Amino acid sequence: MEKAHLIISLDFELHWGRFDKYSLASNHAYYQHTREVVPRILDLFSKYQIKATWATVGMLMCENQEEWNAYQPEELPTFKNQKFSAYHWLHTQKDLYEKDLFAPDLVNQVIHTPGQELGSHSFAHYYSMEEGQTISQWKADLRAAKKIARDKFGKNIESLVFPRNQYSEEVIQAAQQEGFYIFRTNPEDWFWKEVEKESLPKKVFRTGDTLFPLGLKTSYTPFEKEGDILRLPASRILRPYRKGSLFNGLRIARIKGEIDTAIRNKEIYHLWWHPHNFGNYPVENLKILEEFLIWIKSKVDLGDLVSESMESMNQKISAAITS
Ligand SMILES: [Zn+2]
C-alpha cells in the first residue's frame, strides 16, 4: 500500500449489548444520551469526511416489540446459561422502554450520512462461543440480521463484528456461507485469544494495554484475502472520557502515536468503540472526538492517511489484488 489507512468501526447496540450485565431500569438516561450522541458523531464524521462501519445489532433495527417478534430467526439459541439469550431476557422484562432497545430512526441517519457503512453485530448480540448453542442457530441469527437490513433499509450487509469479540474458524466459515465476507478480528496478542475463556490476567492486560504498550503491534499490512474472506484485526478500542481520570489525555496521545507509526510503515490502523461509551459524559467525549478527528483530517490532507470503513477497505484491497 502506498499510504496508511485508518478504519473506524462502531458496535451499535444500545441495551442489546449489555442486557446480561446491567439492568435496563437504571440506564434510561445513559441510552437517552447515546441517542443524542449518535447524530452528533455523524455530524462530525460528515464535517471531517471520516468513513466508518456501524456494526449494528439487528434487533435494534426493529420499530417495536411487535416487529421484533416478526423478525425472529427460525431457530433460537439454546445457551446452557440462558442469561446470554436476548430472547430470554426480553421475556423476563415487565416494563420495556422501547427507546432503549429500538432505533431504526438512527439507523436511517447512519445510512444517509456520506461514507458510513451499515454492518452487522449479529441479530441478537449472539455469543457464538457460549455453551449450548449450535452453528445452525448461529447461521439462523445471521440470516435474520441480513433480512431485516435488506427489508427495512435496502442494504445487503457484508461486514460483521462478533459480539464480545468471540469467534472461531468454524464461526467465521459459517458467517461466510451466510454472505458475510469482511470481519473485524482480534489483535494477535495472547490476551485477546479465546476471549470467551476469560481470565483475570487477560482482562488486566487488555485494560492495561489501553494505556501502556504491552502488545506487540497495533497496525499491520493488509492481510491476504482467503477466498472472499477478509480479516481486519482491531488495533484498539477508544475508551471514553472518565471524570477525574489522569489517563484521559494519555489514551488519545497513545492512539495518535500508534497512528503515526502506521503512517510511517504505510499500515492499517483499526479503531473501534461503542456509541454508548459516550453516554456518561457526552459533551466531554464529543469534544475529545472532534479534536481527534481534526488531527486525523490534518494527516489526510497531508496525503499521509486515508479514512476507511471496513467495506471501503475491502474494495481497495480487492482492487489491489486484481490489478
Ligand atoms: Zn457488542
Mean predicted confidence (pLDDT) in 72-85: 98
Distance CA 292, CA 6 (A): 13
Centroid of ligand 1 to alpha carbon of 57 (angstroms):
8
Using one digit for the tens of pLDDT, what is the confidence trace for 242-260? 888 888 888 999 999 999 9
Cα of 283 vs its chain's centroid, Å: 22
Centroid of ligand 1 to alpha carbon of 322 (angstroms):
34
Using one digit for the tens of pLDDT, what is the confidence trace for 90-105? 999 988 889 999 999 9
pLDDT given for residue 207 in this prediction = 52
Centroid of ligand 1 to alpha carbon of 3 (angstroms):
30
pLDDT given for residue 221 in this prediction = 84
pLDDT band with cut points at 50, 70 and 90 for residue 320: confident
Average pLDDT over all residues of the chain: 91
pLDDT given for residue 2 in this prediction = 85
Centroid of ligand 1 to alpha carbon of 274 (angstroms):
8
**Phi, psi dihedrals of residue 59, rounded to the nearest 5°:** -60, -35
Centroid of ligand 1 to alpha carbon of 174 (angstroms):
19
C-alpha cell at 303: 496525503
Using one digit for the tens of pLDDT, what is the confidence trace for 117-143? 999 999 999 999 999 999 999 999 999
pLDDT of 153 > 50? The answer is yes
| Concatenated DSSP letters of 162-219 | -GGG---HHHHHHHHHTT--EEE---SSGGGTTTTS--HHHHHHHHHTTTS--SS-S-
pLDDT given for residue 236 in this prediction = 93
Grid cell 489491489 is found at 320
C-alpha cell at 176: 461466510
Q: Which residues pair with 161 in a beta bridge?
A: 184
Distance CA 143, CA 151 (A): 12
pLDDT of 41 > 90? The answer is yes
pLDDT given for residue 270 in this prediction = 97
4-322: what fold?
TIM Barrel (3.20.20)
Residue 302: DSSP 8-state? T
Centroid of ligand 1 to alpha carbon of 54 (angstroms):
11
pLDDT band with cut points at 50, 70 and 90 for residue 160: very high
pLDDT of 211 > 70? The answer is no
pLDDT of 319 > 80? The answer is yes
Centroid of ligand 1 to alpha carbon of 125 (angstroms):
6
Mean predicted confidence (pLDDT) in 308-314: 97
Domain boundaries, the chain: 4-322
pLDDT given for residue 323 in this prediction = 67
pLDDT band with cut points at 50, 70 and 90 for residue 191: very low
Centroid of ligand 1 to alpha carbon of 302 (angstroms):
34
User: What's the one-letter identity of residue 107?
Assistant: V
